[in-house]
Structure 1
Amino acid sequence: MPTILTNKLFSLYVRLRYPSVPANLRYFYRDTYNCEMTQIKYIFRDFLFKKKYKDIYFSGEFAPELQFALPFAYWHHLNGTLRSTHSSKFTKELYFFSENHFEDFEIRTNEGNYNFELPRILYSHDYDMRKWVAVPLKKHYQNDVYVFSKPILIIANRYNMEWDGPPISFYDIETLDFIISKLKNSYTIIYNRPRPEHITTDNSDTYDLNEYDWLGKEHPEVILMENLFKENKAKANNFNHLQLMVYANASKFISVHGGTAALASYFGGVNLVISKQGPEHHFNCYNHLYPKLSGASIYHAKSNDEVRSLIEEHYI
């Protein structure tokens, strides 16, 4: 963990080197250097001795787990130094490569994001990470079960509390109607907005968008991910497992910033992300980080109007 002294030194360095950075974002820069400093103590074990020693714990939110913890664990697996992984419930299938995976945590916490044993935490001005390898989820989970007559398009939505306030970035019913009406003739559309009981929750409240009844009336051809889970033709162990299998057979995604967008970016193809505000904008995550997860083409929409334009340009 960073000390008071290292925090002060790195904070001063950031102020001097990046004087134009807003004050509320400087600590992300500082934390990058703290993460880099932490990795120095493992040089001999990681690059010389190479025995299985690494126990990776992560209890934070879904997005940073996918962005940083999971690729870090996979790097150690390939390096021959991974001993065990410890995460939240419903994550065993994400860590399919880990011989010893433990689902230790019942909930995800913001405090768990600040795990300085990782190469990075949350956002950074430098995503040139040495101990980081994208996990081949698509290759591992592709299957013959979720195959349809038309290519799959995943609409991965969410409607949650954001920054202790109401939802900001999401696809409302009007925008969903535009997307589905434009694309349903070309794609098998699968709509996914996980219910709280299907996933490991964090400190964000989930609200009801009231879109499920609307979809049934106006667009009955849209397949609901939760209905696929009820059928469970592939015998998925949990909802996350099902998502991995369905997503692995898709190459077109429309998602929302956070864990929703991070997961959709793991499967190649094209992913349109709506994000109306957040530190991701300053750090340009959608150009610098998200494409690293699978080589996917990521398109960032900051408004509903931009969503419509990008749909017309890249999905039709």
Structure 2
Amino acid sequence: MKRRYLAILLINAILLGGCQKSSDQFFAYQDYITSSKNDLGFNLSENEFFAKELVILDNEDSGYDDNLVTSKAAFLFDITNKKALYAKNPYERLYPASLTKLMTALIVFKRGELTDMVTISHNASNIPVEGAKVCGFREGDLVSLEDLLYCLLVYSGNDASIAIAEHLSGSEEAFVKLMNQEAQKLGAVHTNFVNSHGLHDDNHYTTAYDLYLIYNELLQYDTFIDIINKESFTSKYKDKFGNYKERTYKTTNLYLTGEKEVTEDITIVGGKTGLTSKAGNCLILLLKDGNDNQYVSLILKATNSNNLYTEMSKLFSLIIE
């Protein structure tokens, strides 16, 4: 009984603190707890919900300067000391663009075998969205799941994302169900995915704090941290005729390429970018200071690339103040 009361207090601390829409957040989580057994087919336990140490927003986290950044949502969390240094609109529903691929990657780590060989389908090689970022794989190409994961996170290839989804679940639709189930298990109850890549759909959305929950889970995997630290990646695969192919993909993270300068005493470990016309420019990062304290920072819906990195660097200044 004592543990149950403790769980209730912890949930209330998460839901009611530092959020202008705290009542909405509370009822969303309450509905989730009620439906987790009947609708989703699993029981929510305290151990599952609080399995990882999290940065919790409380009542003292509501007084940040919203004018520090003009982007729609942002945060800076000290994950070493479990402290929020900044948060703007952490629970507002927004489009995640390619930050969606974080959940796709998480499903790979939880359910996939990186040594699997994946045959690229017609769907994966023919994405009907003009300007969609693709790795250029062709129908029938044989690519390892590990290479697809690198292409997904380093280069943000949408074709890699669909290939992963179809390989692990048989179809992208079935894979999306897994994505949403996993989001619910992590407590990301204000998230709804409709695809594996983040190309725009009005019903495909998340929040800044939900993205933190997903990213926090990924940081438990050393391979994930290794991948997001790469400036580039070379994939070696076979085409449908058995010919060896090789392509090199450059990271979309301009901090890692050196195109954007990093604040002194800050080291960028890695992260994930996102961009669509509706989502704007997005970026989530893992970074550390000179004392090896680690941080997660996020910007959602910046107006352009320059503003994205300028405002992200403004967040870094809060670390060294």
Q: TM-score, normalised by structure 2?
A: 0.29
